[in-house]
């Protein structure tokens, strides 16, 4: 049976745009999303890891606030009902003081109850083995959805 791996940020839930809106409210300026080449805010926007995390957490008061990207839930439900298995594969930080594990489980449980077999945090792996493709291979996933692809399935 097919097993797909699904990323969280920009696949299930919006991320970069949420951070940019928080920055605009907090600093009265909007950093250019064109400047964002990856999720390393230290390099792209001159932020510390703590500043980026502060911005993200400021947008997460409850799982009801961060609404899934349009199309993600119905597509996953469709795949689930046709027998395709799925798991979450994320690089969200899970070590103190950055631990997003509880909030992530809360969001996934609220919006995607019983769809995912498990959630794997790449940060739980040794640093030289955290690559999502390597972790995915270890869990024997057949396909990995990294960004927006879910809406077009």
What pLDDT is attached to residue 34?
60
Query: Measuring CA to CA, which residue among 9, 4, 3 is closest to residue 92?
Result: 9
Mean pLDDT of all residues in 111-115: 91
Give the tens place of pLDDT for each residue, 49-108.
666 666 666 665 554 457 888 888 998 999 999 999 999 988 777 666 667 788 788 889
Phi, psi of 39 (to 5 degrees): -90, 30
Q: Between the CA of residue 88 and those of 116, 136, 147, what are the distances in Å?
A: 7, 10, 13
Q: Is the pLDDT of residue 114 over 70?
A: yes
What pLDDT is attached to residue 126?
85
Q: Is the pLDDT of residue 117 over 90?
A: yes
Q: Which of 28-37, 69-78, 109-118, 121-130 has the lowest mean pLDDT?
A: 28-37
Whole-number percent of the chain with pLDDT over 90: 14
The pTM score is: 0.71
129 pLDDT band, cuts 50/70/90, is confident
Q: Which residue has the tokens 């950055």?
A: 98
């Amino acid at each position: 049976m097919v097993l797909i791996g699904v990323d969280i940020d920009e696949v299930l839930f919006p991320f970069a745009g949420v951070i940019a809106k928080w920055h605009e409210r907090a600093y009265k300026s909007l950093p250019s999303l064109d400047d964002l080449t990856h999720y390393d805010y230290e390099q792209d926007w001159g932020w510390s890891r703590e500043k980026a995390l502060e911005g993200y957490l400021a947008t997460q008061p409850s799982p009801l606030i961060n609404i899934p990207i349009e199309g993600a839930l119905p597509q996953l439900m469709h795949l689930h009902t046709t027998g395709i298995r799925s798991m979450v594969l994320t690089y969200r930080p899970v070590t103190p003081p950055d631990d997003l594990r509880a909030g992530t489980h809360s969001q996934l449980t609220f919006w995607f109850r019983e769809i995912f077999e498990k959630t794997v945090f790449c940060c739980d792996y040794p640093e030289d083995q955290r690559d999502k493709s390597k972790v995915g291979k270890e869990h024997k996933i057949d396909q990995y959805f990294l960004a927006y692809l879910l809406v077009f399935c």
